[in-house]
């Protein structure tokens, strides 16, 4: 649904574009260790974040299962003249790639689409694809999120923006799965309380609301005990060198 009738609304949203820039900065600061980074992005959608990251890495290979998202991504890459970003359509659960090829594997908004068994399979594949010392960075909605209590007020919009297979993830269970896949140095970073849900529920919100919303979120995710109820979380995990 997102890449059909709703796409223009969300792609043109100042709120969502600001959120993309915020995520790209986070990824750059926490997972891009050098300009020679070779990056794999799984579930890249229309590749907006990947385009923002392209000046800071050597190469990005991006996959998404949506034919329309991939078409839009390729169109954007061509129009911007980005030479180090390649976008292809593929089911990421069946990808076969060379081992030890990538410095960074990004799975942003991806894992919560799969069963826990498929997630573990994908984590094991990512482990193989990463070079020793490489980083896997994931981003997903949390099963502990405070905003889930407000979903009853937005049932129809939630249904339109989510597939039936989506689920919120338990951060602790994902950390256990990453350990089982062989990763070490696993860190959880809570992302936001309200910014992402608000940006999708109200994409036409005036840009003036972005800065105070981000400030409030940043304050909340810094509070011990409170931050665990964040809406979304990043996990950074390293393949032992």
Task: Spell out the per-residue pLDDT of the chain, length 241, in tens.
Answer: 455 556 666 777 887 888 889 899 999 999 999 999 999 999 999 999 999 999 999 999 999 999 999 999 999 999 999 999 999 999 999 999 999 999 999 999 999 999 999 999 999 999 999 999 999 999 999 999 987 766 665 666 656 665 667 889 999 999 999 999 999 999 999 999 888 887 777 777 777 877 888 888 889 999 998 999 999 999 999 999 9
Please report the pLDDT score of residue 164 as a whole number: 67
Instruction: Specify the pairing of strand 102-108 against strand 38-42.
Output: parallel
Tell me the DSSP string of 120-149: HHHHHHHHHHEEEEEEEEEEEEBTT-GGGG
Asked if 24 contacts 43 with a C-beta cutoff of 8 angstroms, the reply is no
Asked if 240 contacts 184 with a C-beta cutoff of 8 angstroms, the reply is yes
Please report the pLDDT score of residue 6 as a whole number: 66
Nearest-CA neighbor of 18 among 199, 221, 230? 199
Please report the pLDDT score of residue 11 as a whole number: 72
Please report the pLDDT score of residue 7 as a whole number: 67
Span 7-238 CATH architecture: 3-Layer(aba) Sandwich (3.40)
Calpha distance 145→168 (Å, rounded): 9
Please report the pLDDT score of residue 1 as a whole number: 43
Please report the pLDDT score of residue 27 as a whole number: 96
Please report the pLDDT score of residue 207 as a whole number: 77
Calpha distance 197→213 (Å, rounded): 11
Please report the pLDDT score of residue 85 as a whole number: 98
Please report the pLDDT score of residue 98 as a whole number: 96
Query: Where do the H-state alpha helices sit in 56-102?
Result: 67-80
Calpha distance 158→24 (Å, rounded): 25
- Tally of CB atoms within 10 A around 191: 24
Domain map of the chain by residue range? 7-238
Nearest-CA neighbor of 127 among 40, 56, 207? 40
Please report the pLDDT score of residue 227 as a whole number: 92
Query: Where do the H-state alpha helices sit in 140-208?
Result: 155-161, 171-180, 195-201
Helix or strand run (H / E) with residue 105: strand 102-108
Hey, which residues does 115 pair with through a beta bridge?
Answer: none
């Amino acid at each position: 649904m997102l890449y059909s009738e709703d796409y223009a609304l969300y792609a043109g949203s100042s709120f969502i574009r600001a959120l993309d820039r915020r995520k790209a900065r986070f990824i750059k600061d926490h997972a891009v260790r050098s300009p020679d980074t070779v990056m794999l992005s799984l579930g890249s959608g229309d590749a907006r974040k990947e385009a923002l990251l392209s000046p800071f890495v050597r190469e990005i290979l991006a996959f998404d299962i949506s034919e329309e998202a991939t078409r839009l991504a390729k169109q954007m890459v061509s129009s911007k003249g980005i030479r180090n970003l390649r976008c292809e359509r593929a089911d990421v659960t069946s990808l076969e790639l060379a081992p030890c090829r990538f410095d960074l594997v990004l799975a942003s908004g991806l894992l919560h689409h799969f069963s826990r068994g498929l997630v573990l399979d994908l984590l094991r594949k990512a482990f193989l694809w990463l070079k020793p010392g490489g980083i896997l960075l994931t981003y997903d909605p949390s099963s502990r999120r405070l905003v889930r209590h407000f979903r009853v007020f937005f049932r129809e919009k939630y249904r339109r923006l989510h597939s039936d297979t989506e689920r919120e993830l338990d951060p602790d269970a994902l950390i256990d799965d990453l350990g089982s896949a062989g990763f070490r140095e696993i860190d959880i970073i809570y992302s936001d309380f309200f910014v992402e849900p608000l940006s999708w529920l109200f994409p036409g919100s005036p840009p003036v609301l972005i800065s105070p919303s981000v400030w409030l979120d940043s304050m909340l995710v810094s509070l011990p005990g409170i931050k665990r109820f964040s809406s979304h979380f990043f996990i950074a995990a390293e393949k032992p060198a």
